[in-house]
Structure 1
């Protein structure tokens, strides 16, 4: 009988999550029955959305999230021992699942880290792909694309796809080292939002305005961009609002913008398209995105950045570090 280590959510987040909001337990797993698969987790992902989604879930649940795992025993005709699979099983070192809860991973190019199936060749990569090309599309060569949270799992891919499409790309991140990383990925301009004036720096970097603003941050940053720097008919895909997630008294983290007085007037006057989106809306095109992202990676047009935390027991630390901006690119935990 297999034993799984599992992190349970035992407290509601009050501001920034804390390690004692989680409890590490062991659970015995039965042998798989017909149609079931037993898997051992290799990597798991920590993502900003987790901070928001668990607010509506009961305490005592296994902390949510996607994992990359290897099949160790199968009673399903769709999977065999050794298959690489992704599943939304949460923070667990092993798990038993029905075959419909598993996605077989077959699109990874030879020689790349398997963890990329949780990063640029997984959900974050698809978020960048669909948010830029479907929600903000059609993307035209020569347009100016602005990305905040640009050094994260989604932002790094957004900027690179925009460059592939011939755009001028401006990124904002939270440290000088992250700015250097963005420039190494091909961003035309990159700034540390903590040390520059947003209005002034963006006026110089995009004097004719921004065509596409890929928003991962929300808050005052977005007020400034939407009220002062968008072009006529600009597009604003809203992917996240991480600046609001950990605020006291805002346990749901669902306030993407502050009270910019001219916000709606700017949207109307500039005839902006402002659209929130969730990547799962595009699940019917998942294969298309996976294959195109993998092809760009093989061609050298798409580079990956990862922050890997070693040890399942350090998953809460990795999650908290993500929310305080410690990660460069995708944050994953190697189990």
Structure 2
């Protein structure tokens, strides 16, 4: 028998556009909702934190047709607590699911059944398979053209998405270089199979690449931008591919981009027959199911590690801790995917 649902639940709304998450958002009480015929009502247990959360609150993904207030957060896993009558063939109350839906920073969420991924349990290690894992898996598959024996560079390699890019490139038979910012992260990278961790706080990445990889890098998985992007571009191999999945160095600025000295992209690309390829996950919706299942299967066969970070000094728990978790991500101290736990029990008010 399904547990009784509270009359209201809490969620986070963006009330004004700003890259400052605290200034942009507040937690509100919302009347409980009922799922439609083809929908699931999910009680969230774990929420994923993403660098692009503040791009969303800044309004950078809208074309002027969306105004606050609106829900924030991109992904969660949880338990089905109610469902529409057309979903009962494939789901039942008590099943666990993962999903990606705008507004997921909430205690409860109504999700179209077709967009939910069944999972065997609410293990938080399933959270990284979504935004982070799908970004790595789909972009490398669709844009990377990986070939066994090639050299791959992953920036921010110890982060939520970088950890998957490293492991998937290794699984494809590539030699993998990963950038990071501490000796602890370098050890983390070695443990997931990275051939050459580079701590850019103690080593000069440009010098390392030119000395140790004089023929250049075949594929770059780039998420930082600014000077890191410049170094990656300058060290591409002939016919190299530079995949841009983000530019986190600029997200906290007013305009959302960081200054770059690079005004010579065309001749750089032309001189090596190399290419620059942008990737935004939400343009590849039709690939979600296939790649989520691929990651889950690899994980279940112990061929893929999924590392999560619930915080170093404190355990991020509850909606009130999300802003702090975002700050932690931008401090650059996390290893793996930052997640926030929600309590099992909810007030019945």
State whether TM-score is above 0.5: yes
Which of 64, 69, 92 is the equivalent residue of 1:80? 92
> Which residue is equivalent to 1:135?
143
Task: Extract unaligned runs of 5+ from structure 1.
Answer: none
Distance 1:230 1:207 in 2: 10
- 1:40 and 2:40 are equivalent in the alignment: no
> Which residue is equivalent to 1:268?
270
Q: CA contact under 8 A between 1:6 and 1:27: conserved in structure 2?
A: yes
Distance 1:258 1:77, change over 3 A: same
> Which residue is equivalent to 1:217?
224
Deviation at 1:283, TM superposition (A): 2.3
1:286-297 maps to which residues of 2 (within 5 A)? 286-297=288-299
**Normalized against structure 2, the TM-score is what?**
0.84
Deviation at 1:293, TM superposition (A): 1.5
Distance 2:192 2:16 in 1: 39
Q: CA contact under 8 A between 2:206 and 2:231: conserved in structure 1?
A: yes
Q: CA contact under 8 A between 1:160 and 1:187: conserved in structure 2?
A: yes
Which of 153, 157, 165 is the equivalent residue of 1:158? 165
Secondary structure of 1:80's partner? coil
Secondary structure of 1:159's partner? helix
**Once the two structures are superposed, what CA deviation does each residue of 1:29-59 show, in whole Å capped at 9, x if it has no partner?**
1444555543211111110122223322533
> Which residue is equivalent to 2:194?
187
Distance 2:155 2:201 in 1: 12
Distance 1:65 1:5 in 2: 16
Q: CA contact under 8 A between 2:80 and 2:96: conserved in structure 1?
A: yes
1:202-281 maps to which residues of 2 (within 5 A)? 202-227=209-234, 229-247=235-253, 249-250=254-255, 253-254=256-257, 258-281=260-283
**Once the two structures are superposed, what CA deviation does each residue of 1:99-136 show, in whole Å capped at 9, x if it has no partner?**
35x63323x4x6x76323321x3231111111112211
Task: Extract unaligned runs of 5+ from structure 2.
Answer: 1-5, 60-65, 311-315, 343-349
Question: Paired residues, what number?
Answer: 321
Deviation at 1:318, TM superposition (A): 0.8
- 1:93 and 2:107 are equivalent in the alignment: yes
Distance 1:154 1:87, change over 3 A: closer
**Normalized against structure 1, the TM-score is what?**
0.88
Deviation at 1:198, TM superposition (A): 2.0
Which of 74, 88, 105 is the equivalent residue of 2:117? 105
Distance 1:117 1:168 in 2: 26
Distance 2:106 2:245 in 1: 27
Distance 1:324 1:28, change over 3 A: same
Distance 1:8 1:288, change over 3 A: closer
Q: CA contact under 8 A between 1:18 and 1:320: conserved in structure 2?
A: no
Distance 1:312 1:296, change over 3 A: same
Most deviating of 158-167 and 71-80: 71-80
